[in-house]
Amino acid sequence: MASEGARVLACDINGELAAESARTIQSAGGVAEACAMDVSKRDNVQHAVDQAVFAWGRLDILVCSAGVMERAPFLEMDDTHWLRVTGINLHGTFMCGQIVARQMVAQGDGGRIVNVASNSGVFGGRGRAAYGASKAGVINLTQSMAIELAEHNILVNAVGPGPTLTRPDVQGELMASAQNRMPLKRYGLPEEIASVASFLASDECSFTTGHVFAADGGFTIAGIMEG
């Protein structure tokens, strides 16, 4: 988005990682600032919005991408695990979307909100009861936000990544169970997810709202792969 002219407030619960992202953008000639933000805390989210508005006078785009993917067997999952995953992935998305949308409504000329869902929100997975439920919630939240915010010319969509190479040092080869149902038998790259989010946040996306755009190598459309 920075390469296409957006001024970016890079937010992360780890302030140094946020600063690193901002420096990367700046070194490439873009405009960016950093903000340490915990999406599970409303005052943190409000502070980030206030920082963006103070820096640039307005806020036009939100990409709500904070999330955790932690697995636990359903029968062994405790409340701490459930509340942490749903609190960040779903409640965090709700709070970010609500606070940013209020700012956009006050500005009076619309905006774009892009949530990050997952193919795990479309079907079940072993050890992913909390994660899958949180991402299914993000999908429905996206739809509900799109309906209610349309009158304010705020378009709300989601990108649904499949297996993505976010941590190449620890992820290893793509698991066979994923490859077996993916026409494109590889990890997606973060840049490939970002390009879909960038389209959804752009002026070119002007008549689409409430949808999830899969960037998953065909994972969610695959039926019988043999033959």
190's tokens: 């973060």
For strand 154-161 and strand 61-64, is the pairing parallel, antiparallel, or unpaired?
unpaired
List C-alpha distances in Å: 85 to 16, 31, 76, 77, 133.
23, 32, 15, 11, 9
Closest CA to 155 of 111, 211, 115: 111
- Residues classed as catalytic: 131
Alpha helices (H) in the chain, listed in sequence order: 15-27, 42-56, 79-86, 92-107, 129-149, 168-171, 176-179, 190-200
Q: Is 156 helix (H, G, I), strand (E, B) or coil?
A: strand
Q: Which helix (H) or strand (E) covers residue 161, if one does?
A: strand 154-161
Q: What is the CA radius of gyration of the chain?
A: 18
